Amino acid sequence: MSLAQATPEPAAALKYKRVLLKISGEALMGDGQYGIDTATCERFAQEVLEARKAGAQICLVIGGGNIFRGMAGAAKGMERASADYMGMLATVMNALAMQNAIESLGGYARVLSAIPMVTVCEPYIRRRAMRQVLARDLKVMDASAIALMRDNAIPIVVFSIHKRGALADVISGRGISTTISD
């Protein structure tokens, strides 16, 4: 999912100007035991849009564990590929919920999926994505992210998004977080 709009202010005061934010499916449950809590999505969307307005470039990576876990399905005897596809569909469902929350607050978001479903999201095409990575000199993508981040001296900042204002604090270099770096 990528974000645009909300006319950014100069990012001079920000410690982190380009942010890849991973939101787990479990975080989208709010206080629930299952599914998607729309109030939680809206609160996260507000934080993302505030960071965008402050000048940060934000990319969200959304999990699907609140709906289905491919590994759990495979462990219970389901064919692994089918279980993984179901997990990917759960991820798209969560991404659509976040897109809806962001757009309801006046922002813009795109949902990309490697499983073609052009009526609900844009196709993720690896070659096209890699061309964009090279053209924009992006330093981090997919499963090798930690190695790439280490190799390019890009820190990983771990924090709780459940605290209001946590994203703004982190991108400004404040707040409670753990930084993993060389």
Is the pTM above the cut of 0.85? Answer: no
Q: What are phi and psi of 73, to 5 degrees?
A: -65, -40
Residue 98 has pLDDT above 90, yes or no: yes
Mean pLDDT of the chain: 83
Q: How confident is the model at residue 134 (pLDDT cuts 50, 70, 90)?
A: low
Residue 182 has pLDDT above 90, yes or no: no
pLDDT at 139: 45
In order of 28, 46, 47, 50, 164, the CA distances from 43 in angstroms are 10, 5, 6, 11, 8
Contact of 45 with 6, CB cutoff 8 Å: no
pLDDT at 3: 52
Comparing 127 with 46, the larger pLDDT belongs to: 46
Task: Give the Cβ contact number of residue 177 at 10 Å.
Answer: 14
Domains of the chain: 2-112+159-180 (3.40.1160.10)
Q: Stretch 68-95: mean pLDDT, rounded?
A: 85
Q: Stretch 120-136: mean pLDDT, rounded?
A: 71
3-state class (DSSP) for residue 167 = helix
Q: Stretch 71-85: mean pLDDT, rounded?
A: 81
Q: Stretch 124-136: mean pLDDT, rounded?
A: 66
pLDDT at 60: 92
Q: Stretch 150-176: mean pLDDT, rounded?
A: 84
Burial 28-57 (b: 16+ CB within 10 A, else e): bbbeeeeebbeebbbbbbbbbbbbbebbbb
Distance between CA atoms of residues 74 and 71, nearest Å: 5
Contact of 101 with 41, CB cutoff 8 Å: yes
Residue 167 has pLDDT above 70, yes or no: yes
**Highest mean pLDDT pick, 22-36, 71-85, 119-133, 152-166:** 22-36
The residues, any chain, with a CB within 8 Å of residue 32's CB and separated by 6 or more, are: none
- pLDDT tens-place string over residues 24-51: 899 999 999 989 999 999 999 999 999 9
